[in-house]
Each structure stands twice: as C-alpha cells, then as structure tokens.
C-alpha cells in the first residue's frame, strides 16, 4: 500500500479543520512561535511554517504529506492546558493500543539504525549532531541522544554498538505525555522521519 497516497487523501480534511482555529491561543501549550501572520514549528531543528492556508518549510523545500499530517494532528490534539510531565520516558510499545503497530515501528526505525550504524558509532554521533541532537551522559549506552521532533515531543535514541557477544542494538524513548499530543500513527512517523534523516547520505 502506498502510504504517501493515504496521507495525501487525509491531509485536506485535517487542514480544513485546522484553518478555522485560533492558534494564537495555543502558542505556549504547543511550544510554537508567532511571527506576524505566520506560526513557526520547530521540527527536528528545522523551522516549518503555517501561514493560515498551508504548511511549508521555511527554506522553501517541499514538505511530505506525512509531515503535514503530523503538524495538523499536533494542532488538533492540543490539550486544553500545558501538560506537566514528571519526565518519565516510555517505549513506543508502552503506549495504549500500540501493540499492532509495534513491529512496523521497529522495522522502520530501530532495526534500520542497528543495521546502518553497526561498528559506526562516531558516524552516528556525527549525524545526530547534524540534525540537532543533544548528546546525553548515559553510561548504559555507547550513545544516547535527545532530539526534538516537535516542541512537546522529545525523542531519545539509545544505541549500543556490536561487540563479540551481541549485535548492535537501538531503541527509542518518548516522554509519557507524547500520546496526548500525537496519535500512534504520527508518533511512528516522527521516528521513521528521524531514521530517514540519520541514514541519508
């Protein structure tokens, strides 16, 4: 099935629901900025813009339908007030009803990172820094990096390299409040998008 067609099909409906909304009332809740008539979203250290009619990249580059769906969903699922998080981190599998999507999530994210960066920790570190990752001190992993998919959606990538006994292993963690801001499909897209960034030449 062509996922891009699915996102192309659902995006117009989502956009039609976003357009009438007053995003000025949601700036602090969503962590977005307003510059004149424009609303600015930080997406993996990159500025994406909503002008009231559509979403676009601040540099003029095209946005995929999947990313536009994520941005619409982020707005539409906005809670009534800013959520207080105790900082608890969870795997994708720990979110309610994530089971059916977990194998797809893993195939499109962690397994690709494991295969692509086995015995290449420094290459992975370099890529992470390139896309706005913050290196964390965590002695349990060879590399632990925090990204910001969206202002309220931090993602942590933990990676252990292959050794004589074990193959490389990668895993992603979300804040426990992430599923309040995005549905499971969109959370999957964020990590799939990040994985694509990291393996891009």
What contacts 165, CB < 8 A, 6 or more positions away? none
Domain ranges of the chain: 3-76, 89-199
Tell me, what's the pLDDT at 86? 74
Nearest to 172 by CA among 201, 140, 147: 147
Query: From CA 146, how far away is CA 63, in angstroms rounded?
Result: 23
Two tokens at 3? 């996922």
The answer to whether the Cα torsion of 19, 36, 152, 29 is positive or negative is negative
| b/e sequence 104-121, b meaning 16+ C-beta within 10 Å | ebbebbbbbbbebbbeeb
pLDDT digits (tens, 9 = 90+) for 71-120: 999 999 999 888 777 778 999 999 999 988 888 899 999 999 999 999 99
Q: What is the pLDDT of residue 82?
A: 82
Position 62 pLDDT exceeds 90 = no
Share of the chain above pLDDT 90, in %: 81
CATH 3.30.310 fits 89-199, yes or no: yes
Of all residues in the chain, what percent carry a pLDDT higher than 70? 98
Question: What are 10-41's pLDDT values in tens digits?
Answer: 999 999 999 999 999 999 999 999 999 999 99
Q: Output the pLDDT for position 3.
A: 64
Q: In this predicted structure, what is the pLDDT of residue 130? A: 92
């Amino acid at each position: 099935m062509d996922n891009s067609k699915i996102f192309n099909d659902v995006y117009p409906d989502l956009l039609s629901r976003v357009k009438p909304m007053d995003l000025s009332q949601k700036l602090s809740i969503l962590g977005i900025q307003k510059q004149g008539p424009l609303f600015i979203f930080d997406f993996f250290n990159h500025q994406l813009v909503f002008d009231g009619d559509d979403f676009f990249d601040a540099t003029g580059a095209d946005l995929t339908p999947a990313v536009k769906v994520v941005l619409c969903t982020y707005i539409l699922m906005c809670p009534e007030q800013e959520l207080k998080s105790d900082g608890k981190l969870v795997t994708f599998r720990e979110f309610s009803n994530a089971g059916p999507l977990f194998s797809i999530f893993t195939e499109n994210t962690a397994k690709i990172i494991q295969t692509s960066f086995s015995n290449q920790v420094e290459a992975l570190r370099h890529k992470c820094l390139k896309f706005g990752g913050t290196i964390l001190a965590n002695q349990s992993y060879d590399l632990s990096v925090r990204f910001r998919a969206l202002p309220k959606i931090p993602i942590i990538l933990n990676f252990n390299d292959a050794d004589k006994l074990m193959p490389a292993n990668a895993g992603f963690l979300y804040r426990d409040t992430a599923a309040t801001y995005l549905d499971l499909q969109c959370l999957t897209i964020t990590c799939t998008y990040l994985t694509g960034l990291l393996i891009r030449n």
